[in-house]
Chain A
Amino acid sequence: MAIADLANPSRFLNLANRVIPWLGGLTVIVFALAISRAMNAPDDYQQGATVKIMYLHVPGAWLGMLGWGLMTVAALGTLVWRHPLADVTAKAAAPIGAAFTFMCLVTGSLWGRPMWGTYWVWDARLTSVLVLFLLYLGVIALWRTVEEPSRAARAAAILTLVGALDLPIIKFSVDWWNTLHQPASVLRLGAPTIDPSILIPLLISALAFTLLFAVLLLAAMRNEILRRRVRTLRLLQASTTS
């Protein structure tokens, strides 16, 4: 099956129905491994056991940004190529990305209190991630406000493209400004600065969360396609009864 064939929602549904159970099973296995490695990872020499929060916080941050990045590509698909699945992808990804960004903010706050002495500071990294979360809520609200899916898709796509400006700000905020948040320690020029005994569990955890994101996205896209079929039938019912 060519990738272009997946533009057909029925073909996509068939593929999703086949892939979701297998991908879900793989996700459970990798999550079990990730939890085991995280629980057995050594404490950090400075931060002690609180470093275990990193195994949740960092994947949450990465997936919050990945979600918006995916929505940005989908927004281009909606506005430029009018791909049938582009706005389905964008709509399905928004609540998932918002949930992971929320997880990043809350776990970061719970990590910050014992390490920094405060739950929150208005530094550039924390504030730009909060802005990302608010952008997610804005896009979700837009989808819920506009009834007609194609009109909602165009409006959401424009907001998504504008919001994409926040992604480089989040990434480079720790380099551009003095922040309480530490600079990049994994995705940086040069080698990661984290010891492998902590880095490897972190990467396994990130893989587990990424697989979960993929399963949830496929399932949410399937739901959205079915929801549009329900809407079509509802309109058909209304037109036949009137």
Chain B
Amino acid sequence: MEAASHTAFIVAAYAVAGAVIGGLIAWVMLDYRAQLRRLGDFEKLGLTRRSAARPAETIERTEA
């Protein structure tokens, strides 16, 4: 009885940890896609930074 009630706490702890890890991974991945999309939008408008040669190369590589 006691062991079964403890199992609920263990499962809850692992579920919380899974949610935290999943949330962090989703946050960085979605943010990365959003930034690349915004940079792509500016590129389509012909807007680039003054030192754009290297960053553009970087962005292409990251999208590949």
Task: Please give the residue numbers on chain A whose beta carbons come within 8 Å of chain B beta carbons, in ascending order.
Answer: 10, 13-14, 17, 48-50, 52-53, 56-57, 60, 95-96, 99-100, 102-103, 106-107, 110-111, 113-114, 212, 216, 219-220, 222-223, 226-227, 229-230, 232-234, 236-237, 240
Whether B58 lies near A110 (C-beta < 8 A) is: no
B42 to chain A, nearest CB (A): 4
A100 to chain B, nearest CB (A): 7
Asked if B1 is at the interface (CB within 8 A of a chain A CB), the reply is no
Give the chain B neighbours of A114 by CB distance below 8 A: 5-6, 9
**Chain B interface mostly:** helix
Q: How far is the CA of A11 from the CA of B35 in the complex (A)?
A: 18
Which residue of the partner chain A has the closest CB to B49? Answer: A232
Contact of A223 with B32 at beta-carbon distance under 8 Å, contacts A107-B13, A237-B45 already known = yes
Whether A219 lies near B28 (C-beta < 8 A) is: yes
Contact of A233 with B25 at beta-carbon distance under 8 Å, contacts A53-B13, A56-B13, A110-B9 already known = no
Give the chain A neighbours of B14 by CB distance below 8 A: 56
Give the chain B neighbours of A53 by CB distance below 8 A: 9-10, 13
Give the chain B neighbours of A17 by CB distance below 8 A: 58, 61-62
Q: How far is the CA of A10 from the CA of B49 in the complex (A)?
A: 12
Whether B47 lies near A107 (C-beta < 8 A) is: no
Q: Of B7, B9, B49, B59, which is within 8 A of A111 by CB?
A: B9
Whether B39 lies near A229 (C-beta < 8 A) is: yes
Interface members, chain B 1-55 (any A CB < 8 Å) = 2-3, 5-7, 9-10, 12-14, 16-17, 20-21, 23-25, 27-29, 31-32, 35-36, 38-39, 42, 45, 47-49, 51, 54-55
Give the chain A neighbours of B3 by CB distance below 8 A: 48-49
Q: How far is the CA of A229 from the CA of B37 in the complex (A)?
A: 12
Which residue of the partner chain A has the closest CB to B25? Answer: A216
Question: Which of B12, B17, B23 counts the most A-chain CB atoms under 10 A from its CB?
Answer: B17
Which residue of the partner chain B has the closest CB to A220? Answer: B28
Whether B31 lies near A223 (C-beta < 8 A) is: yes
